[in-house]
Structure formats: structure tokens, C-alpha cells
Amino acid sequence: MANFDLLMHGFGIAITPMHLMLMVGGVLMGLIVGVLPGLGAPNGVSLLIPLTFALDPTSAIILLSSMYWGALFGGSTTSILFNIPGEPSSVATTFDGYPMARSGQSTRALTLAFMSAGFGALLGVIVITLLAGWASQFALKFGAPEYFAVYFLAFAAFIGMGSAAPMKTMVSLAAGLLLASVGMDSVTGSIRLTFGFEDLLGGISFLVVVIGLFGIGELLSTVQEGLRFRGVASKIDLRDVLKTIAELPRYWATYIRSGLIGIWMGITPGGPTAASFMSYGIARSSSRKGAAFGTGRPEGIVAPETADHSAGSCAMLPMLALGVPSSATAAVMMGGLMIWGLTPGPMLFATQPDFVWGLIASMYVSNLIGVVLVLATVPMFAALLRIPFTIIGPMIVAICFVGAYTVSNATFDLWVVLVFGLVGYLFSRLDYPLAPLVLAMVLGHKAENAFHQSMVLSDGSLSIFFANPLVSSIMVLGIALLVLPKLVAFGSRFRRQVPVE
């Protein structure tokens, strides 16, 4: 019950007028970036990080994580009302959410989505609360080889479990690692891969890269489609909200199944996007009666939303306990932690209990605030999408460049944003995943240091990664995650000659 006491202590930290205000502000800002195309959770959080330098780390992480929840809610709103996923992880919500809204039940669809999202997040936070102490105790046993093995596991999971072609994920990962090694090497002190450019001496900031990849890149995708929003009316009727809440218990099986999928995908680095698709797929294949999926089935909204949010909140656990984020947004937040001078990992629980438990407690509160706020403000935020793109588009561009400049006051970063904007557009058009690149940029130094130290320990022999049961089992799990999913897919394709559907 030590966790419970710590959690109560955390509530004492999280529930202060200042922090409640930050949560409301964060959720509202998150809703804005979630609704607007071109601004999503990862780059919204990147844009906000320079503004948090003035806050203490606990307040800063509460603000950033609240923004993340807000962005997840905002992404579902546009999926349902406009058939435009505001976030990659809410793509699966469009399949049944938009048809239901089109048939005049937009309040029902939104309520289903928000309540499922809130329930998923709650499940996720409960899991974090229960596992946090144990995970950090476990991680205290880790030395350099174990850390490298965990990074390997994270990278392997992206390659094996991601929906993209494995070699494309590999390109994205390796490019991120290479970009992370530009500039001063912290171990040997030598200057690397700058090719004589002085602007590269300090390295390439991952925050600036995220703003380019996700911000400008997504805008370019929006522009090429020639933006035309066909929105559904978005009035919220309180009676419909209550009626929908009353029907929720009927979907208990979907809730539990989706929650478990989300928790699994959040803790292993599958990420919310993969979780929501997987959950939708499983809900569809396990339903036997009723209207077809894709026509506005309530389960088709419940399943992806629950999984999306439980994965999103569970992604915070490996980030805090091991320093391995399992989603792009968690990676950016972890970068923020390091900028504030905190080291993510098991020691964080011992040295900064106020920070860790304040954050965990704030996740309960801010998700509650999120559900209420989003229901209250949906019509207002949906109106944002009615602003013509010729006005809102350039504004988003300007905000992205301003944000990139404030990271380190370097004009060179403006070019970095532009270049990575084009890269982001190209990559997303050609199905190269972007999250591994961000993850690799954030983890690059730590992975290399862990590798370096292990090599020094073992005098250059790779056998150190199989030297004891702990490190070997992590490595074997990593290799299994790398190879098995594709083998299974290959096998089932081989067996199943007749295509389904």
C-alpha cells in the first residue's frame, strides 16, 4: 500500500489552484492543437517546452501532460465531426464515428468517444499507479548492458510491431540515431559529422526536428488534399449525453478488451496509433451480430478510443521508470525532462518522488477535467475548423517557426524546420513511420553511451548482452519482437489461400 500513500501525497501536490489552472490551460491548448491540422500532440508539446523553462519541473510536466490529453481528445473530435483525424491515433475513430455523426447522432458519437477515452485513460493511470513502484525497483537492478538491451527492445518493437514495412522503420530509426550523433560527442569529446558546418557543432535539436516533421509535414499533406471540410453540426445536447452514458455498460466486453490492448501497447513501445487500429480490428472480427462496422457501430468508437487513451497514458510508465518512451509525444516529453535537468529512469522515483507522484496524480485529475471540458467546449473548437485555411494555415506555419526559433534562438533552426517539413511530408506519403525517428533522436545518446559502457566493461565482446539471465531475457524478448510478428503474418498468409473479405 506504499503506492497508495505516495499517490495521496501526489494528489496533495497536484491539487493546488496553480496546478489546476495549468491543467485547464493545458487541456484547452491541447484541444486547440488536436483540432487544428498541422498541430498535433508531439509538436504541440515541442512548441510549449521553451515556455516551460520558467516553471518548476512538476508544474511543467503537469502542463505538458495535460496538453497531451487535450490533444488526444481534440483529435477524436475532428475525427467524428469532420472525418479528419486530428491525430494519427484517432484515424480508427473516423471509421464508425463519422458515419454515426452523419446520421444525426453526433452527440452520441462524441459522448461515446470521450467517455471511452476517459475510461481508457483511467485504466492506464491505475496500471501506472500499481506498477510504478515495482517497475522502478526492478529497473534499479539495471546496468549499462541492461539499458542497452531495453533500448534495443524498444527499437525492435517498433520494427516488428509497427504497421509500416520493417525496412522503412529501420531507415527511420537509423536516420534518427545518425542525426542524434551529430555535434559534440559526450563520451569522447570529439566533434562528429558536422562536415565543417559551424551551425551543426551544437547538434541538431530534436524539438526543432519534431516541429518540422509533424507540423510543417502535416500541413503540406493537408495542402495537397486541397482542404475542404465537410463538417457535421456540433451542438451538444445534455439529455443525449446522459442517455449515452446510460448505454455505456452494455459495451463492457469491448471496454475491457480494448483497455488491455491499450495497456499492452502502451507499455511495450507499440504506441497509441497501433493500439487503436489493433483494438478496432479485434472488435470488428469478434462481433457476431448487429449492423456492420463502418456504418456507425458504437463498438467501433468505443474500441479505438479506449485503446488509444489507455496506451497514451501507459506510455508514461516506461518513460518514467526506464527512460524509454513508447510514443512520439512521450519521447518529446522525456526530452523536456532532460532539458529541465531531470534524468528519467529508476532514480527519478527515489530522488524526485514529488515530481513522479505529482504527475501520476495529475493524470487522474486532468483526464477528468479533460472529459468535462471537451464536452463543454466542442462546438467552440469545432468552429476553429471553419476558419478558412488561407488564414489559419499561414498562422500555424508562423507558430511552428516561432516555436523552433525559441528552442535555442538560432536562425539555422528555421532551415532545419523547412527541410524536415519536406522530409515529414515525403515520409508520411510513402508510409515511413515518423515516431521511430523521434524516439531514436531522443534516445540516441543514451543508447550509444550504454553501448559504449558495455563494450568497455566486456572489452569489446558482444557476449555481455547475454551475460546474465536479466539482460539475456530482455535481448531475447527484443529479438522475438523483431522477428515473430512478421513470421506470424507470413505464416498466416501462407496458410490462408482464400482472401478474407
* Binding residue (CB under 8 A) for another protein from 246, 391, 462, 500: 391
Interaction of residue 287 with another protein, rule CB under 8 A: no
Q: Which of 138, 229, 415, 466 binds another protein (CB under 8 A)?
A: 415
The answer to the question of residue 167 lying near another protein (CB under 8 A) is yes
Shortest CB 311 distance to another protein, Å = 27
DSSP for 140-194, written as a single string = TT--HHHHHHHHHHHHHHHHHHSSS-HHHHHHHHHHHHHHHTSEE-TTT--EES-
Asked if residue 395 binds another protein (CB under 8 A), the reply is yes
> Where does this chain touch another protein (CB under 8 A) — which range of 103-111, 186-194, 358-366, 475-483?
186-194
| Surface-to-core class of residue 81, CB atoms within 10 Å of its CB (0-12 exposed, 13-18 middle, 19+ buried) | buried
Q: What angle do CA 252, 255, 261 make, to 5 degrees?
A: 145
**Rounded Cα gap, residues 99 and 105, in angstroms:** 9
User: Of residues 456, 487, 488, 489, which one binds another protein by CB under 8 A?
Assistant: 456
Q: State yes or no: residue 461 binds another protein (CB under 8 A).
A: no
Residue 146: CB atoms within 10 A of its CB come to: 21
Q: Which three cell numbers stand for residue 122?
A: 483511467
The SS3 of residue 326 is coil
CB of 51 to another protein, least distance (A): 6
Least Å distance, CB 274 to another protein, is 20
Using rule CB under 8 A, residue 402 touches another protein:
yes
Kindly state whether residue 42 participates in binding another protein, applying the rule CB under 8 A: no
Q: CB under 8 Å to 372, separation ≥6 — which residues?
A: none
Helical pair 106-139 and 91-102, crossing angle rounded to 10 deg: 160
CA distance 86 to 228: 14
Residue 246 makes CB contacts below 8 A (sequence gap 6+) with none
Query: Does residue number 401 form part of the binding site for another protein (CB under 8 A)?
Result: yes
Closer CB to another protein, 217 or 335, in the complex: 217
Does 240 interact with another protein (rule: CB under 8 A)? no
Q: Examine residue 394 and tell whether it contacts another protein (CB under 8 A).
A: yes
Answer for which of 15, 24, 126, 165 binds another protein (CB under 8 A) is 165
* Alpha carbons 374 and 112: distance in angstroms, whole number: 12
- Binding residues with another protein: total (CB under 8 A): 57
**Residue 466 contacts another protein per CB under 8 A:** no
Draw the binding track, 220-239, toward another protein (x: CB under 8 A; -: no contact). Answer: x--xxxx-------------
- The residue whose grid cell reads 520558467 is 54
Q: Is residue 168 within the footprint of another protein (CB under 8 A)? A: yes
Q: Which of 54, 246, 498, 500 binds another protein (CB under 8 A)?
A: 54
The only residue of 1, 17, 188, 495 in contact with another protein, by rule CB under 8 A: 188
Select the span of 104-112, 289-297, 318-326, 385-393 touching another protein (CB under 8 A): 385-393
DSSP 202-246: T---HHHHHIIIIIIHHHHHHHHTT----PPP----HHHHHHHHH
The Cα 433–Cα 420 span in angstroms is 14
55 binds another protein (CB under 8 A): no
Judged by beta carbon, residue 256 or residue 398, the one nearer another protein is 398
Q: How far apart are the first and last CA of the chain?
A: 50
SS3 381: helix
Pick one of 460, 497, 500, 501: the residue that binds another protein (CB under 8 A): 460
Q: According to the binding rule CB under 8 A, does residue 455 interact with another protein? A: yes
Q: Of 132, 89, 134, whose CA–CA distance to 113 is shortest?
A: 89
The reply to whether 201 sits near another protein by the rule CB under 8 A is no
Pairing of strands 183-184, 191-192: antiparallel
User: Cell 511530408 sits at which residue?
Assistant: 425
15 or 227: CB nearest another protein: 227
Candidate ranges 61-69, 100-108, 173-181, 288-296; the one touching another protein (CB under 8 A):
173-181
483 binds another protein (CB under 8 A): no
384: contact with another protein by CB under 8 A: no
* 138 vs 415 by CB, closer to another protein: 415
Choosing from 1, 2, 190, 246, the residue that interacts with another protein (CB under 8 A) is 190
The verdict on 409 binding another protein (CB under 8 A) reads yes
| Residue carrying C-alpha cell 539499458 | 147
Taking alpha carbons only, the member of 139, 146, 167 closest to residue 482 is: 167
**Cβ atoms within 10 Å of 353's Cβ, excluding its own:** 14
Integer Cα distance of 220 and 222 in angstroms: 5
Decide if residue 463 touches another protein (CB under 8 A): no
Return the amino acid letter for 29.
Answer: M
160 binds another protein (CB under 8 A): no
- Please say which residue, 182 or 348, places its beta carbon nearer to another protein: 182
Note the residues at the interface with another protein (CB under 8 A).
50-51, 54, 165, 167-168, 170-171, 174-175, 177-178, 181, 185, 187-188, 190, 192-193, 195, 216, 219-220, 223-226, 388, 390-391, 393-395, 397-398, 401-402, 405-406, 409, 411, 414-415, 418, 421-422, 426-427, 429-430, 432, 448, 451-452, 455-456, 460
